[in-house]
Chains A and B, each alone.
Chain A
Amino acid sequence: MIITREPEFLPETPNVFARLGRAVLLSCRESGRALLMTGEAFLHMRTMFSTRSRFDVMYQLYITGVKSLGVITVVALFTGMILALQTGLELRRFSQQVNIGTAVCVSLTREMGPFMTALIVAASVGSAIAAQLGTMTVSEEVSALEIMSISPIRFLVMPRLVALLVMMPLLTVYTDIIGIIGGAIVGKTQLGVSFRAYFDNAVAFAHNKDLYVGLFKAMVFGVVITAVSCHQGFCTKDGAVGVGLATRKTVIVSFLTILVLGYIITRVFYK
């Protein structure tokens, strides 16, 4: 696949429907290109343990995983606390506040954990990927790789795909755990639910399926973030302004795709 693309000049059309049609067709084409690029990155994953790729993969694992831990900890803790407080206050009206463990645990593992993690990673890691690849594209570094017969997909996309595929589920489990702990703190301090009662209740009604579906979602979201951010990076043009636009578009497209796919996966597994 050739990454460096010819500049495109589409003729202006005053017709609204023609413009709409063109926008739809261009979106389909861009999605197709992003999918092809991701597919090729999957094929290159067989080289991830080779000496030439090992260091890049490890570095991306570190950037994606370890560097995201701080913000994920804060967001996960407060997500769990808000979930526990909102649900607990309603349940307290029926003297059922002891069940907040279940509510927090199921919401987090099934939906909120992968969703919140994906949003944070898309906003922090995804935008950084788009900005880096975008800058490399406009400064001809990507073209230089192609001239040296180094596949930009193997060299740049594959390590990021591996990192997000591995780290998204791990970060999601981490989000779930921190969120559940946050819920327990609110349960104990605001709602009078003991830690033991909270965790017994959480464990008793939690299903493995919730965890597995959540982890599956996390992996899908990881692929989405890689595909969108790398593709936007490679499509960057017009210098610094273009890099800004690519970063913005990465965050918007990733968020929307994560929302839609999140719903579809939930619908498929919980009919």
Chain B
Amino acid sequence: MIRFEHVSKQFGSKKVLDDLSFEIEKGETFVIIGRSGMGKSVTIKHMVRLLSPDKGRIWIGDDLVSEARGKELSRIRLRFGLLFQGSALLQWLTAGDNVGLPLRQGSNMPQEDVDRLAEEKLKLVDLSDVFHKHPSDLSGGMQKRVGLARAIITDPEIILYDEPTSGLDPMTSRTIDALIESLRVKLGVTSVVVTHDLHSALSIGTRIALLEKGKMVEISTPQEFIRSKHPAVRDFLDANFITKKPDWETHPS
């Protein structure tokens, strides 16, 4: 479904992606984790060509997105929904108008149908009473869910999530995780999730990839990931207290 072939990307003297190759299968939830600045968001921005690779090719099915331009690029992008880290809702539009925006601007659908669909998608993300509210009137978690409703209104084949749980409390984070999982089941979409949140990665991912110094040092199922012997994976698991208990628990004063 999504294939990276020897993709490299450099910002100034810093190599962000280094000969990166991997493949994401249709219908799976592929989670990319890693430390800050390791190129996780850069990777998903390449999938929708918000960034172009210095070297290598990126395929979305049979479409070569890394070389697409103009109408071809627009067509490929319509296969995606993207939930941005900061939701990226237009502040002067209501939640309902934000959700309906891709249809209102990209199709000739009557306004009533757009509104009905927007309302449906808002219900799908458990928001039924915010249609007429502006983003500034909503909490961070609600804004993320409105962003998610907007991402799915065109029924995309692939949904990209850029840090879907960042800045949210643990309870709201788990609600977002449940939503990601339910959308995969209900809509049968392929999901790519970029996150720092290992708990979230382990609960929603069908495969987890650890990005370190521009390379994916581990790609495996959650069960295999926890058992991995790779030092970078061990460090990441330890830092999240998955395999190592915190000091206050092992050495109580």
Contacts and interface: CB of A to CB of B under 8 A. Distances in A.
Interface of A: 4, 6-7, 9, 51-52, 136, 139-141, 143-144, 146-150, 155
A4 B52 CA distance: 11
Contact of B12 (A9, A52, A148, A150): A9
A97 to B, nearest CB: 52
A17 B80 CA distance: 46
Given A52-B104, A148-B102, A148-B105, 11 more contacts: A6-B52, A9-B13, A139-B88, A140-B86, A140-B88, A141-B88, A144-B88, A148-B154, A149-B74, A150-B106, A155-B105
Contact of B48 (A52, A147, A155): A147
Contact of A143 (B78, B84, B105, B111): B84
B96 to A, nearest CB: 15
A148 B88 contact: no
14 contacts: A7-B11, A9-B13, A136-B90, A139-B88, A141-B88, A143-B50, A146-B50, A147-B48, A147-B80, A147-B82, A148-B77, A148-B106, A148-B150, A150-B102
A7 B154 CA distance: 30
Contacts of A51: 111
Interface of B: 11-13, 48, 50-52, 74-75, 77-78, 80, 82, 84-86, 88-91, 101-102, 104-106, 111, 150, 154
Ranked 8 nearest A-B pairs via Cβ:
A9-B12, A144-B88, A149-B74, A148-B102, A140-B88, A150-B105, A147-B82, A141-B88
A201 to B, nearest CB: 49
Q: Which of A6, A52, A144 has the most CB of B within 10 A?
A: A144
Contact of B86 (A6, A139, A146): A139
A52 B102 CA distance: 11
A4 B50 contact: yes
Contacts, number: 52
A136 B104 CA distance: 20
Nearest to A144: B88
A114 B91 CA distance: 33
Contacts of B80: 147
Nearest to B51: A6
B52, B101, B111, B150 — most chain A CB neighbours (10 Å): B101
A150 B98 CA distance: 13
A139 B136 CA distance: 14
A146 B88 contact: no
Nearest to A10: B12
Contacts of A136: 90
Given A4-B50, A9-B11, A9-B12, A144 B82 contact: yes
Contact of B77 (A6, A139, A147): A147
B112 to A, nearest CB: 13
A144 B160 CA distance: 12
Contacts of A7: 11
A143 B87 CA distance: 11
A143 B52 contact: no
A141 B80 CA distance: 16
Contacts of B75: 149
A136 B50 CA distance: 15
A19 B75 CA distance: 41
B58 to A, nearest CB: 15
Contact of A140 (B78, B84, B105): B84
Nearest to A59: B92
A149 B84 contact: no
